[in-house]
Structure 1
Amino acid sequence: MTESTRPEARVPRGFVDRRARDLAAERAILDAVSEIYERYGFERLETGAFEYADALGKFLPDADRPNEGVFALQDDDEQWMALRYDLTAPLARFAAQTWETLPKPFRRYAYGPVWRNEKPGPGRFREFTQCDADTVGSARPEADAEIIAMAVEGLQAAGLPAGSAVLKINNRKLLDGLFDAHGVADPKQRLTALRAMDKYDRLGLDGVRELLGKGRLDESGDYTKGAELASPAIVAVESFLAAAGSPDLSRADVVAALANLGLGEKGAEALTELSQIDAALTAMGVAQDAARIDPTVVRGLEYYTGAVFEAELLLATTDEKGQPMRFGSVGGGGRYDDLVARFTGERTPATGFSFGVSRLAAALRAAGRDLSAQVRGPVVVIAFDQARMADYFKVAEELRSAGVAAEVYLGQSGMKAQMKYADRRLSPAAVIVGEDELAAGTVTIKDLDLGRALSAKVTDNAEWREQRPGQQTVLRAELVATVRKILDQAS
């Protein structure tokens, strides 16, 4: 190929290449969370990457725009199918298709990549890994509570210590009751008001008040048209948002405060459900500061039908430049009782929680808890002489047989470059088997972790060479035990 016909090596926009350390961090999260979900009695379900496009619900492409929002293609039978946008739509399809054979309620968890044909941006990718847990077939508020308790425990197992995240709980029926009680009947007006309330954390009460009224002009000069609610309705929304009060309020205290607002029949129904969720959470030992009721939470404006919840990161986080940043939500969920009905025509209650695995890994990294830092490379056996390659492979195989990851260096470089290679692999140790070692029945082992630590303290090159930090020569029979000791010290 000529230079003019060579393709440019590039990754498509919105997609990323991930090396072993990033993948290992995500795998550690998934392994830890899976153990929690299975302990709660949830079974793992894996569905295919593609679904028929009409199974994707509100993300169904328009007839003349089959790739809008999803990556779709036409099968040989001229049916449109698309890469899954999330893990919930495939669950709804699976439940509807196999409902007669499933244990009911059906409790499942799933994880895997999802794809979105949207404009990529910082931290916004077209492919990423999600992890979901859902209960289909139970209308009990206790099912919501169990999902919340499991989310709290799962996030802690993934690496967020107790007190570093909070599950905020609300109920969409409270919002419906609020609007019903104050004559806000227009669906578009309600939707605009809900979007305004969703900005409470970012804009505060003053900003929300403007968006509930005529509108708001932000600092950039952009104007957002408001919901144009009547003054009594705006005051009622403000009182509703203020009911969250101090984070120190118990779940029962918040329910009591909301009960004084007069939220009509739907609101009363929601408060009963929230009280039942509180009782179940208390019974399961979920602390008040780990999961609290917060009426400012607004999620899935056209999707959720009852309880909603959102996991907010409380840890101090910094960006790549070391500047403080607010990370915000690391997961969320709620009750969606209308999704399976798209296939069956019968309302089927369902509730679930979902988090982005890459986003959670990024949150841990931003909080200084990078799981990828725990990923180590293999022990590297240094290769000096082509004629001795069989001896080097015997050393590597001895380590592998003992359960230690090991490799023989297969490049063409000398000793210095091989040691640099081992360092870049984050190898815990390098094994040297030269002519002297072979003759004496010994091996020389360099503890690379110790060498890295000591190198920061020794400033004189001559002293460094004299001390030979982290290096020892042992009998060949002691190879495995010596390497294991290094590995144990590093763990």
Structure 2
Amino acid sequence: MAKIKKQPRPKAETPKGFRDYFGTEVTERTQMLRAIAEVYHRYGFEALESSAVETVEALGKFLPDVDRPNEGVFAWQEADDEDKGDWMALRYDLTAPLARVYAQYRNDLPTPYRRYAMGPVWRNEKPGPGRFRQFYQCDADTVGTASMAADAEICAMLSDTLETVGIPRGDYLVRINNRKVLNGVLEAMGLSDDAAARDNVLRTIDKFDKVGTNGVRELLTKGRLDTSGAFIDGIGLSNDQAEPVLAFLTSRADDAAATLSNLRAAVGASTVGAEGVQELETIATLMDAQGYGADRVVIDPSVVRGLGYYTGPVYEAELTFEIFDEKGRKRQFGSVSGGGRYDDLVKRFTGQSVPATGVSIGVDRLLAALHAKGRMGGDVTGPVVVTVMDRDRMADYQAMVSELRNAGIRAEVYLGNPKNFGNQLKYADKRNSPIAVIEGGDEKANGIIQIKDLILGAKIAESATLEEWKERPSQFEVPRDQLVAKVKEILDGQNA
């Protein structure tokens, strides 16, 4: 008889490019999502939850990862019949699904339609340090108006949101550019009708922050050696063709008026370029009228945005403070948010042009920034733990925990093996519990309970002498009916 081959056990490991989030991390993210939603709601945006899965046709192919499987999306065919089944995909952002939603329900929605959405998105991109294939985004978009006031409002709201979640003025900049200006530059280069060359130039411009002016010039022309010594082929443009790009990238001046003047020179006689400069001037005027100065919002020609659906103004929120990377080197934290105008996305469904603009905040990046600056993190207080001294009196302990919860206090009964009381206190320590409640047989008979201040007890045990221990008791004996009042008193003292 043949021996049955034993099935190997599955590996208990997170898939590559993904990660697990535990209690504190989930709590912090929830709090941030709530804070961001409050700002979006204050600006008049309404919540929307759309499907996490769309057809590949509806999503469109706008990601820059053209060399990745399915061009950067997680996709599969719905039916077994390869000739008939729709291709489905996990959404790679929250904007492409909005275009489908608006096209589908446009007769029922107000115009303009102002919506915000929050949730995970998935990209089949190469993972790396701090770069995951699943991450959270918080979007806000206005669909149905071509007014630059909508773009200015998005930038103002982005600034307010960053300050609300804990990024103070001076530690960030909202940087604004316009794809039309860039199109004007490409027109001046003679590349307006060459889609492949345009895409190559866009990808090169996006590297400006990393390689600088000379690096961009080399990548546009003959190529360059990177920091590892490897040679990166250039696009092959002539020096004369590259010059308008370099003039464009170095157009930023000390004030908006001077930057706009430089941009007008960079686009030359291009009509679309001049239109883009005019839109930027309108946004700058509106930002100034609202009190958003150059310490918060600036015009910056180096902002490109990688997604292919942008048609006008684009913006990015960059954190300007320095952190240390994994090798101990100083670097700026970089971008945590981006967006722009995408007037052709809805048109893909309806055939009619529908102007739209919006922004997306990367929540995980923003949380990482706050941790890096020490503005978030540390231990989160766990629940009050009601210990179990007699398993036959579980009803008594459940009654206690119910009273605490009804008073708005986070609490739980210890549900492990109660035989070893020391293990119950170890469990409370591992949960970072502030208080343990104790009621043994003697306490029950006398109508009292013991309430142990675990936070104070830990501090005393670390540093106090015996005399100080006596002066600062960490365990209290109170009548059973004073449970809630005493627990509140101790919690208030811990939070003082």
Equivalent residue for 1:224? 232
Query: Is the aligned partner of 1:200 residue 2:205?
Result: no
Q: 1:478 aligns with which of 472, 478, 482?
A: 482
Q: Distance in 1 between matches of 2:112 and 2:441?
A: 68
Q: Distance in 1 between matches of 2:266 and 2:94?
A: 37
Query: Is the aligned partner of 1:11 residue 2:18?
Result: no
Q: Which amino acid is the alignment partner of residue 474 of structure 1?
A: V
Equivalent residue for 2:199? 191
**Cα distance, 1:415 vs. partner?**
2.5
Query: Is the aligned partner of 1:29 residue 2:32?
Result: yes
Secondary structure at the residue paired with 1:410? coil
Q: Distance in 1 between matches of 2:8 and 2:306?
A: 48
Q: Which amino acid is the alignment partner of residue 161 of structure 2?
A: G
Whether the 8 Å contact between 1:445 and 1:472 is mirrored in structure 2 is yes
Equivalent residue for 1:40? 43
Q: 1:275 aligns with which of 272, 281, 285?
A: 281
**Cα distance, 1:157 vs. partner?**
2.0
Equivalent residue for 1:135? 142
Map 1:16-165 to 2 at 5 A: 16-58=19-61, 69-75=73-79, 78-165=85-172
Equivalent residue for 1:402? 407
Q: Distance in 2 between matches of 1:58 and 1:184?
A: 22
Map 1:231-380 to 2 at 5 A: 231-245=239-253, 249-261=254-266, 263-264=268-269, 265-300=271-306, 302-319=308-325, 324-371=330-377, 373=378, 375-380=380-385
**Residue 236 to residue 6, structure 1, CA distance change in 2 (3 Å):** closer
**Cα distance, 1:58 vs. partner?**
0.8
**Residue 117 to residue 140, structure 1, CA distance change in 2 (3 Å):** same
Q: Which amino acid is the alignment partner of residue 52 of structure 1?
A: T
**Residue 11 to residue 237, structure 1, CA distance change in 2 (3 Å):** closer
- CA RMSD in angstroms, aligned pairs only: 2.8
More displaced stretch, 267-276 vs 430-439: 430-439
Q: Distance in 1 between matches of 2:460 and 2:285?
A: 55
Q: 1:415 aligns with which of 421, 428, 432?
A: 421
Deviations 1:22-73 (A, max 9, x none): 11111111100111111111111111122122111116999xx879722324
**Residue 287 to residue 51, structure 1, CA distance change in 2 (3 Å):** same
Q: Which amino acid is the alignment partner of residue 130 of structure 2?
A: G
Q: Distance in 2 between matches of 1:30 and 1:282?
A: 28
Whether the 8 Å contact between 1:41 and 1:107 is mirrored in structure 2 is yes
Whether the 8 Å contact between 2:122 and 2:134 is mirrored in structure 1 is yes
Q: Distance in 1 between matches of 2:407 and 2:262?
A: 62
Equivalent residue for 2:430? 424
**Residue 324 to residue 382, structure 1, CA distance change in 2 (3 Å):** farther
**Cα distance, 1:277 vs. partner?**
0.9
Whether the 8 Å contact between 1:59 and 1:70 is mirrored in structure 2 is no
Q: Distance in 2 between matches of 1:89 and 1:101?
A: 19
Name stretches of at least 5 consecutive residues in structure 2 with no aligned partner. Answer: none
Secondary structure at the residue paired with 2:106? helix
Name stretches of at least 5 consecutive residues in structure 1 with no aligned partner. Answer: none
Deviations 1:292-338 (A, max 9, x none): 11111111363211111111112333456876443211110011111
Q: Distance in 1 between matches of 2:476 and 2:451?
A: 5
Deviations 1:203-245 (A, max 9, x none): 1222122112211111323222223333344343333222223
Q: Distance in 1 between matches of 2:441 and 2:353?
A: 76
**Residue 447 to residue 224, structure 1, CA distance change in 2 (3 Å):** same
Count residues in correspondence.
Answer: 483
Secondary structure at the residue paired with 1:328? strand
Q: Distance in 2 between matches of 1:393 and 1:322?
A: 51
Whether the 8 Å contact between 1:297 and 1:310 is mirrored in structure 2 is yes
Secondary structure at the residue paired with 1:316? strand
Percent identical across equivalent pairs?
50
Q: TM-score, normalised by structure 1?
A: 0.90
Q: 1:443 aligns with which of 435, 442, 449?
A: 449
Q: Which amino acid is the alignment partner of residue 122 of structure 1?
A: P
Whether the 8 Å contact between 1:75 and 1:81 is mirrored in structure 2 is no
Q: Which amino acid is the alignment partner of residue 402 of structure 1?
A: A
Deviations 1:425-449 (A, max 9, x none): 1222222223443344333222233
**Residue 451 to residue 257, structure 1, CA distance change in 2 (3 Å):** farther
Q: Which amino acid is the alignment partner of residue 170 of structure 1?
A: N
Secondary structure at the residue paired with 1:46? coil
